[in-house]
Structure 1
Amino acid sequence: MFSTSPGSDRPAPGNAAHVLGAEECRELLTTTTVGRVAFCRDGTPVLLPVNFRVVDDVIAFRTSPTSPLAVLAEHDGEVVFEVDHHDDVFRHGWSVIVSGRSAAASPAALATADLRSWQHGTDLAIAIVPERITGRRVAAR
């Protein structure tokens, strides 16, 4: 389902950053529960945080039917999802970006994932079906 962007997983000469493979990106997605969803609404870019779970290679989250995110239940455009981690003390981190399409998800299908939103009134389940996944790991030298 996922494909990686062109590139190597080896650090570039003189650079401590390297491209992550699709499997490592998938693994990193499961290590955190908060990410950001980017999409266009009425021609304007929107970027919003969500708490999420990965369920059968699909990124799933809940939202309110009145939230700006509710448009994603019937969205016909590309959606970008990003998660990251950084350690200021040891000066390293990673970022994973998933591009795909969003759609309404069956709440029953997500029940086993223990997907709970941090907000009240989150009756609308959204799924992002990945089409492409990329990632980078960076470390200070």
Structure 2
Amino acid sequence: MSQTDDTVPGAARRPASFDVLPPKRCLELLSSTTVGRIAFAGKEGPVLLPLNYRVVDDAVVVRTSGSGTLGQLAGSDVEVVFEVDYHAPTARSAWSVLVRGIATVVENTRTLASVEVSRVVSWVPGEHALVLSIPIDQITGRSVG
């Protein structure tokens, strides 16, 4: 028998499950897409931005402009939260993965020249010479459906 919200007449079925995802599955999901959101406490208050990324080794890597909003993270030791998600409304299923850490500037020329890092491409026009890395030390995820 399916679950419904008994407090609302005619309410739709509730999803069958809600699960905390193991780190390995979180990493698989994080690696399966290339657009996420980064959040941090900026100079003028909370910041939440969508951006393109790639998982390279054990880090989320993004390219940005040194003069843009994300440029203020360079050398700041500010903790960030990086999030990716997916939802299928008709199936009433979804997942979300969070990575927490300090975004650091990638300065190693060998790393910057690597094929993996060169595949990090921003959809925003302009120069994106600043490469930031968020280590995947703290990763959590949830799924429903």
TM-score of the superposed pair, with normalisation by structure 1? 0.83
| Matched residue, 2:8 | none
CA contact (8 A) 1:101 1:130 kept: no
Secondary structure at the counterpart of residue 28 of structure 2:
helix
| Matched residue, 1:74 | 75
Per the TM alignment, residue 131 of structure 1 is displaced from its structure 2 partner at its CA by 2.8
Rounded Cα–Cα distance in structure 2 between residues aligned with 1:45 and 1:22: 27
Give the stretch that moved more between structures: 77-86 or 101-110.
101-110
Secondary structure at the counterpart of residue 69 of structure 1:
helix
| Matched residue, 1:9 | none
Rounded Cα–Cα distance in structure 1 between residues aligned with 2:86 and 2:111: 28
Amino acid at match of 1:116: V
CA contact (8 A) 1:98 1:134 kept: yes
Cα-to-partner distance string for 1:115-138 (whole Å, 9 max, x where unaligned): 111122111111111331110011
Amino acid at match of 1:95: S
Rounded Cα–Cα distance in structure 2 between residues aligned with 1:117 and 1:126: 12
CA contact (8 A) 1:62 1:122 kept: yes
| Matched residue, 1:90 | 91
Cα-to-partner distance string for 1:90-113 (whole Å, 9 max, x where unaligned): 121100001111110136514411
Number of equivalences: 126
| Matched residue, 1:117 | 122
Amino acid at match of 1:109: T
Q: Percent identity?
A: 44
| Matched residue, 2:144 | 138
* Structure showing greater Rg: 2
TM-score of the superposed pair, with normalisation by structure 2? 0.80
Amino acid at match of 1:117: S
Rounded Cα–Cα distance in structure 1 between residues aligned with 2:144 and 2:63: 31
Per the TM alignment, residue 17 of structure 1 is displaced from its structure 2 partner at its CA by 0.7
Q: Any gaps of 5 or more consecutive residues in structure 2? A: 1-14
Rounded Cα–Cα distance in structure 2 between residues aligned with 1:134 and 1:15: 21
Amino acid at match of 1:118: W
Q: Any gaps of 5 or more consecutive residues in structure 1? A: 1-13
2:111 paired with 1:102: no
Taking only aligned residues, the RMSD between alpha carbons, in angstroms, comes to 1.7
| Matched residue, 1:6 | none
Cα-to-partner distance string for 1:23-72 (whole Å, 9 max, x where unaligned): 00001011100000011112611011110000001000100111100112
